[in-house]
Amino acid sequence: MPDAALRPPLPDPALFDPVRFPGEAEDEPWPPPRFDFAAPWLHRLPIRFERDEGGSVALVHAFDHLRLLADIGSAHAALDIAPGSRDHRLIRLVPAALRFAQAVAPGDPVPGVLRGEEPPPASDLHVGVACSALVALLSARTGETGAALRAAMARLPPGPDMFERAVAECVGQGLALDQIAPLARRLQRLANAHARLIAAEAALPDFAGLERVVADTRRALARDRGYVGDLLPYALAGLEPAIARPREAAEAMLRAGRQALDSAITGGDLAALTERQERLRQALLDLGVFWQRCVAAWLTVEPERTDRREVEALARNAIRRLRLDGLYLVPG
């Protein structure tokens, strides 16, 4: 994956290549604010959608002590929802929503990132994960100060106040405040920056799901004898191997972020490494901004049923995003 200290400017994402969802109506922005199914029985049934252990999306119907499952592909039939209806399109929106929610039930809000809202900031959970990573790596840092700080942090629960409490503990054990506090402040800034990087990764669309649906759609068209000689199957055959590019770029950026932590512990410039975490975070946010709606629209595609003109439009959307080379450069 190419590395670049200065990434070339990107187009305005608000104006770049608008994406339409399959079946999207002119008079209703999509996605809507909520999973507001029109069928009244959906709001009376104890149902929800969630991912099973294999990662597939399932409709779960609680019945006494049993859980009745149906695959997302047949959920509309199980719920007596007409194909192509608005309720059906809401069901097809569920896989994209489950990237940001544990489960989706009728009446639940559609995740804000699918509607173009800013990704949520780093939570205490993200800060805790980043602090835990630093504690694990601090054992490699030599010197009395690093060893004392690591020992104190290892005894504390991860969280936003972890460094402050660790400094207080070290001072209580006899270390001078002006000896321990500067290192702790620099490490806390690095941990906070890494937490924001983790939060940006959590807000990315389901790139792996995008790859699966592109492959499934390509295979469905290849089997359809009515498309022999048509250009769309050839376009998807070219798109399929290239569509992994955003996922691979995100993985490379996350690896660079973890490597920055390693460098910090082995003597790297903490201020410079913190700045790189911020650049990596912005690169991940850019990936999400340009791909979020495109991926969500692709995840609503039913390879055997979606209008091929809509598939063709989504293929063009994906190809245009793949041509934004600067979007996939890992900041130096």
In a domain, 171, yes or no: yes
103 three-class SS: strand
| Domain encompassing residue 57 | 40-109
pLDDT(44) > 90: no
pLDDT of residue 56: 78
Counting other chains too, the contacts that 163-170 makes at CB distance below 8 Å and 24 or more residues apart are 163/131, 163/187, 163/188, 163/191
pLDDT tens readout for residues 230-268: 778 888 999 999 999 999 999 999 999 888 777 766 666
Instruction: Kindly state the tokens that stand for 291.
Output: 């791909």
In a domain, 19, yes or no: no
Closest CA to 63 of 48, 83, 46: 46
Average pLDDT of the segment spanning 289-297: 96
In a domain, 13, yes or no: no
pLDDT(113) > 90: yes
Residues 173 and 98 grouped into a single domain = no
Q: Give the pLDDT band (50/70/90) at residue 6.
A: low
Matching residue, tokens 């492959």: 215
Sheet containing strand 103-104, strands side by side? 66-71, 57-63, 47-51, 103-104
pLDDT of residue 154: 73
pLDDT of residue 162: 76
Average pLDDT of the segment spanning 9-25: 91
pLDDT(227) > 70: no
User: What domain count does the chain have?
Assistant: 3
In a domain, 209, yes or no: yes
H-run or E-run covering 162: helix 162-172
Instruction: Kindly state the tokens that stand for 292.
Output: 């979020």
In a domain, 15, yes or no: no
pLDDT(146) > 90: no
Residues 155 and 214 grouped into a single domain = no
pLDDT of residue 5: 53
In a domain, 65, yes or no: yes
pTM: 0.85
Q: Are 216 and 224 a contacting pair, CB within 8 Å?
A: no
In a domain, 68, yes or no: yes
